[in-house]
Structure 1
Amino acid sequence: MSNKLFTEGRWQEAIAQYQKLLEIQSGDVDIYWNLSHCYRQLNLLDEYFNTLQQGIKLYPTDERLHFSLIIDLRQNGRIQEAIFSADNAAICFPDDYTFQLLKYLTVPSIYENREEINFYRQRYTQGLQDLIQQTSLQTTKEQHSALAGIGRLTNFYLSYQAQNDIDLQRQYGNLVHEIMAINYPQWVVPISMPKLQPNNKIRIGYVSYYLHSYSGTLWLTGWLRFCDRSSFEIYCYYIGNQPDPITQQFQQYSDFFHHIPDNLSAVSEQIIADKLHILVFPEIGMNPQTMQMAGLRLAPVQCTAWGHPVTTGLPTIDYFLSSELMEPENAQEHYSEKLIRLPNIGVSYPKPYIPPVIKTRSDFQLPDDAVIYLCCQAPFKYLPQYDFIFAEIAHRVPQAKFVFLRGTLLQPRLKLAFAAIGLNSEDYCVFLSIPERLDYLMINLLSDVYLDTFTWSGGNTTLEAIACNLPIVTCPGEFMRGRHSDSFLKMLGVTDTISKNETEYIEIAVKLGLDPTWRGTIAERMSQNHERLFDDKACVAGLEAFYKQVCSKHFSA
């Protein structure tokens, strides 16, 4: 009965049955696993974590329970418990490389204060050295365990500390490459550039887990749509498994489209068989299987782009395809790859369809007379040293409401920041869950100002806000990942709301909040200039010139 309710997704009823079962007997491990899943679905996190911990006490050798506990504790800001659980798992599974990675490389998804960032960076730096020293790849068992470990995790959260990651990424990238090389020695040898016969086209491959509606790859449809078909043949390899209408677009724009989910060997064999001239990973660092593949040599030239805007550190990735508008002068110092600055923002982003306004603020329990500041980034993009900015804006704009859309993890920090100047954060901060895309766009259309994050700015979210003519306040950071919105506004030709520092950021946000006429002027100018930003063909011409240049260099070598 419990399992039937579970498979039907009747979580509350399933919980009641599982609890009855556990009163009678200790239950097998699957009961704890399923029960925890029910709590997770209902967002009952304390019950979820308690159930996993009870299961681990009774069944300490079930690695599913350990893995979920560690990952979700970190995800929910409970970093010390996550690290304690990772240490415990590493003792229970001394030969499982997954838990060695978690023991040494776990960093928070969100930080309480600035000092914590430094502490965990030092911990990661030391942990990476220890991990590298202790990684043994002598036996087949060790080789397979290491391969499985890097196939379950990436070091995604490291780059949200707003520092130059090139050295740490190189160390980690070399470790990944070493693990891949020992498991697939046939796929790490250099590949010579296939000869280009007269009337032949240059074969370009794009491989991603995310060839569906996803912020890190949506821009790629533009590169493919405006491709010069007389010179290039396009191969796409979709290694994920959530096909949707965007997947159909990728298929339509490809000469050859391969959907090979969750099978590293099969997709690698297909890429080798296709004898590509250039292989491009739109993003590396979010999906573990992509990181594994990128640690191999599957084409003579391999590139990554800014779907995940951080250097890979991999010795097998030759070029980083970036944007001339986003990169600072010294940008090459941030990359292990050779940096290529493509024209404009480097990508051809399709103009989003924006529906008419069919909802009101009251549909989202937002007051009509409020000045709504949209804060729509993931919590890990918000660093604690900038929390005071919200309180300062609220101090000067009494009608301000800051609308956060991605959970309540920031709530305790904001409470402290507002209290520091005698304000109650609950009077100003609103946390909404917006599951539907239509509602997300409605919130953009109903808001007054978009507040960009420092050090890691919005990408997809900013482009959609621009399509909604929502004024953007931004401050460009030191690294490309903190300069997306800055580059979009420059290309749009509406630069009045780009600030030089935190003080100016607050002033612009306050002026936009208090001066509806100026706000309307900015929105109007944005609406008139969309064609400058969206569906840009200049960057595609620049990209294809680079492809031809790289191939000719190899042909003449």
Structure 2
Amino acid sequence: MSNKLFCEGRWTEAIAQYQKLLEIQLGDADIYYNLSYCYRQLNLLDEYFQALQQAIKLYPQEGKLHFSLIIDLRRNGRIQEAILNAENAAKCLPNDYTFKILKYLTVPSIYENQEEINFYRQRFIQGLQNLIQQTYLKTKEEQQSALAGIGRLTNFYLSYQAQNDIDLQRQYAKLVHEIMAANYPQWVVSLSMPKLQPNQKIRIGYASHYLHSYSGTLWLTGWLRYCDRQNFEIYCYYTGNEPDPVTQQFQNYSDIFHHIPYNLSAVCEQIIADKLHILVFPEIGMDAQTMQMAGLRLAPLQCVAWGHPVTTGLPTIDYFLSSELMEAENAQEHYSEKLIRLPNIGVSYPKPYIPPVVKTRSDFGLEDDAVIYLCCQAPSKYLPQYDFIFAEIACRLPEAKFVFLRGTLLEPRLKRAFAAVGLNSEDYCVLLNIPERLDYLMINLLSDVYLDTFTWSGGNTTLEAIACNLPIVTCPGEFMRGRHSDSFLKMLGVTDTIAENETEYIEIAVKLGLDLAWRRTIAERMSQNHDRLFDDKACVEGLESFYKEVCSKHFSA
């Protein structure tokens, strides 16, 4: 009965039934796991964590219990507990490489203050050295455990610390490559470029876990849509399993489309069998299996694009496909790959469909006379050293309301920032949970100003805000990941709201809030220039020129 209710998603009833069962008998590990899952679905986090901890005491050898506990403690900002539990898991399961990685490389998803960033960076640097020293790949068991570990985790959160990660990425990537080479020695050797027979086309492969509606790959549909079919044959490899209408687009734009979910060796075999000239990963660093594949040599030339805008450090990735508008002059210093600056923003982003306004501010509990500043980035993009900016804007504009869409974890920091200037954050900060896409777009349409994040700016979110003609305040950072919005506005030709520093950012944000006429002028100019930014074909021509050039070098070699 418990499991039946569980399978039907009747979480509250399932909990009651599981609890009855546990009163009668000692449950097995799966019962506790399912019980904890029910609590999580109902967002009862304390009960969720307690159920997992209770289960671990009874079943210390059950890896999935430890894994769920550690990952979700970190996700919910309880970083010290996450690390303590990772250390405990590594003791309980000393031969499981997953917990070695978690013990040494866990960093927060958000930080309380700047000192914490420095502390956890140093901890990561030392932890990476320890992990490398304690990685043994002599026996089959050691090789397979290491393979499974790097197949569950990436070092995704490191790059939110806003520093040059090239050395750390190289060290971690070398480790990944060595683990992959130990398990698949046949797939790390160099491959010769297949000769082009008369009437044959250059074969380009795109491999991703995210060939569905996902912010890191939506832009890729444009590369495929405007592809020169006379000269190129497109192969897509979809390794995830959430097909939707965007997946159908990828299929329609491909000559060959393979859907091979959660099967590393099968997808690698297929890529090698297809004898590609170039293999492109739209992102490396978000999905663990993609990182494993990228640590192998599956095509003569391998590239990564900016779906995850950080160097991979991998010796098996030859080129980083970026954007001439996003990269600083010295940008090659940030990449282990050879940097390719494609025209404009480097991607051909399809213009989003924006519905008519069918809701009002009151539907979201927002006042009509407030000046709504939309703050819609993931919590990890908000670094503590910039919290004062919201409070400073509020001091100058009492009507300001800052709408955070995923801001619960930021609440304690916002309270401190506003209290520092004698204000109550609850008078200014609104934390909304918007699961539906229509509601998300409505919030964009009903807001007055979009506040971009420092050091790691909006990508998809900024492009959608532009489609809604929502004025954007941004300040470009040192690295490409902090320069997305800057490049979009430059391409759009609306650069009045790009700030050079924090002071200017505040000035622009306040002026937009106070000056309705200027705000409308900016929105109108954005609206008139959409065609400059969306569905850009120049970057596709630049991309294909690059493909032809690198292939011809290898053909003549």
Amino acid aligned to 1:387 = D
SS in 2 for 1:189: coil
Once the two structures are superposed, residues 20-45 of structure 1 have per-residue CA deviations (whole angstroms, 9 ceiling, x without a partner) of 22333332222211110011001111
Distance 2:22 2:411 in 1: 35
**Which residue in the other structure is 1:204 paired with?**
204
The aligned runs of 1:281-300 (5 Å cut-off) are 281-300=281-300
SS in 1 for 2:123: helix
Distance 2:251 2:31 in 1: 42
Please say if 1:134 is aligned against 2:134: yes
**Which residue in the other structure is 2:349 paired with?**
349
The aligned runs of 1:508-527 (5 Å cut-off) are 508-527=508-527
Distance 2:425 2:290 in 1: 41
**Which residue in the other structure is 2:497 paired with?**
497
Amino acid aligned to 2:130 = D
Distance 2:371 2:12 in 1: 39
**Which residue in the other structure is 1:544 paired with?**
544
Distance 1:374 1:289 in 2: 34
**Which residue in the other structure is 1:30 paired with?**
30
Once the two structures are superposed, residues 142-186 of structure 1 have per-residue CA deviations (whole angstroms, 9 ceiling, x without a partner) of 000000000000000000000000000000000000000010011
**Which residue in the other structure is 2:396 paired with?**
396
Once the two structures are superposed, residues 425-467 of structure 1 have per-residue CA deviations (whole angstroms, 9 ceiling, x without a partner) of 0001111111110000000000000000000000000000000
Distance 2:3 2:185 in 1: 45
**Which residue in the other structure is 1:406 paired with?**
406
Deviates more, 1:57-66 or 1:113-122: 57-66
Q: CA RMSD in A?
A: 0.7
The aligned runs of 1:34-113 (5 Å cut-off) are 34-113=34-113
**Which residue in the other structure is 1:380 paired with?**
380
The aligned runs of 1:367-516 (5 Å cut-off) are 367-516=367-516
Once the two structures are superposed, residues 223-251 of structure 1 have per-residue CA deviations (whole angstroms, 9 ceiling, x without a partner) of 00000000100000000000000000000
Distance 2:254 2:76 in 1: 39
Once the two structures are superposed, residues 330-355 of structure 1 have per-residue CA deviations (whole angstroms, 9 ceiling, x without a partner) of 00000000000000000000000000
Deviates more, 1:48-57 or 1:1-10: 1-10
Once the 2 structures are TM-superposed, how far is the Cα of residue 516 of structure 1 from its aligned partner?
Answer: 0.8
Amino acid aligned to 2:354 = I
Distance 1:45 1:511 in 2: 41
Deviates more, 1:400-409 or 1:370-379: 400-409
The aligned runs of 1:217-366 (5 Å cut-off) are 217-366=217-366
Distance 2:544 2:250 in 1: 18
Amino acid aligned to 2:277 = H
SS in 1 for 2:409: coil
Distance 1:441 1:498 in 2: 23
Once the 2 structures are TM-superposed, how far is the Cα of residue 407 of structure 1 from its aligned partner?
Answer: 4.3
Distance 1:544 1:164 in 2: 30
Q: Which runs of 5 or more residues in structure 2 are unaligned?
A: none
Amino acid aligned to 2:359 = K
Once the 2 structures are TM-superposed, how far is the Cα of residue 4 of structure 1 from its aligned partner?
Answer: 1.8
Distance 1:304 1:105 in 2: 24
SS in 2 for 1:320: strand
Q: Which runs of 5 or more residues in structure 1 are unaligned?
A: none
Distance 1:4 1:301 in 2: 50
Once the 2 structures are TM-superposed, how far is the Cα of residue 105 of structure 1 from its aligned partner?
Answer: 0.4
SS in 1 for 2:322: strand
Amino acid aligned to 1:340 = I
Paired positions, count: 557
Amino acid aligned to 1:266 = A
**Which residue in the other structure is 1:15 paired with?**
15
SS in 1 for 2:302: strand
Distance 1:16 1:420 in 2: 46
Amino acid aligned to 1:85 = N
- The TM-score, its normalising length taken from structure 1, stands at 0.99
SS in 1 for 2:258: strand
